[in-house]
Amino acid sequence: MRYFVFLACLLAIWTVAVDAQETELKHYPLDDVSGLITQSDVSIDKDVTSDGKGSLKATASQPRVVRLFETGDLGVDNARLIYRARLKTEDLKGQAYLEMWCHFPGKGEFFSRGLQNPLSGTNNWVTEETPFFLQKGEKPDNVKLNLVINGTGTVWIDDIRILRAPLK
């Protein structure tokens, strides 16, 4: 029994240490529409929010991509680039997930999609994320952040963060 308690404590310490290695590069609280790319069929909702300050409400009558932000050059390579956000859904017929596109000079754009845990139906606030693994020398000069609604319904997104973490 002591062995299992020791392993549980070690795992907890390791988890905290890994989380502490994340560095926030950008934060988009979505309290207003500043810098937001898509302006149609979206609005700031001050009543439904994960942080008490407002969220972006997107309504879909058909599948759509909500283009949120472009970061520009983040000056990062040899790391995990993590797109993390809080999502809430209501009567979503289909799926919603995060999508990140990284542009590399002379190579084009490549994407990462949060398809491991897409949301559907009605869900309270959950944290979703999608990583992009950057090897040494792979430096995107722009990162595009999207919300994909592959169906119909309402999705709220809040507290978007771009994080840098070590490669595992």
What are 54-107's pLDDT values in tens digits?
999 999 999 999 999 999 999 999 999 999 999 999 999 999 999 999 999 999
Structure-block tokens of residue 130: 């999608």
User: Domain for residue 120, yes or no?
Assistant: yes
User: Domain for residue 137, yes or no?
Assistant: yes
User: Domain for residue 121, yes or no?
Assistant: yes
* pLDDT > 70 fraction of the chain, expressed in percent and rounded: 88
User: Domain for residue 42, yes or no?
Assistant: yes
User: Domain for residue 100, yes or no?
Assistant: yes
Q: What is the pLDDT of residue 13?
A: 54
Instruction: Give how many domains the chain has, as a whole number.
Output: 1
Structure-block tokens of residue 42: 């979206």
User: Domain for residue 32, yes or no?
Assistant: yes
DSSP 106: T
- Tell me the pTM: 0.86
pLDDT surpasses 90 at 5: no
Of 3-7, 57-61, 80-84, 109-113, the range with the lowest mean pLDDT is: 3-7
User: Domain for residue 44, yes or no?
Assistant: yes
pLDDT surpasses 60 at 8: no
Tell me the CATH number at 108.
2.60.120.260
**What is the C-alpha separation between 58 and 56, in angstroms, rounded?**
6
Residue appearing with tokens 């299992």 = 4
Strands 79-104 and 142-165: antiparallel
Parent domain of 83:
24-165
Grade residue 168 by pLDDT with cuts at 50, 70 and 90: confident
Residue appearing with tokens 């040494």 = 136
Q: What is the pLDDT of residue 7?
A: 45
User: Domain for residue 62, yes or no?
Assistant: yes
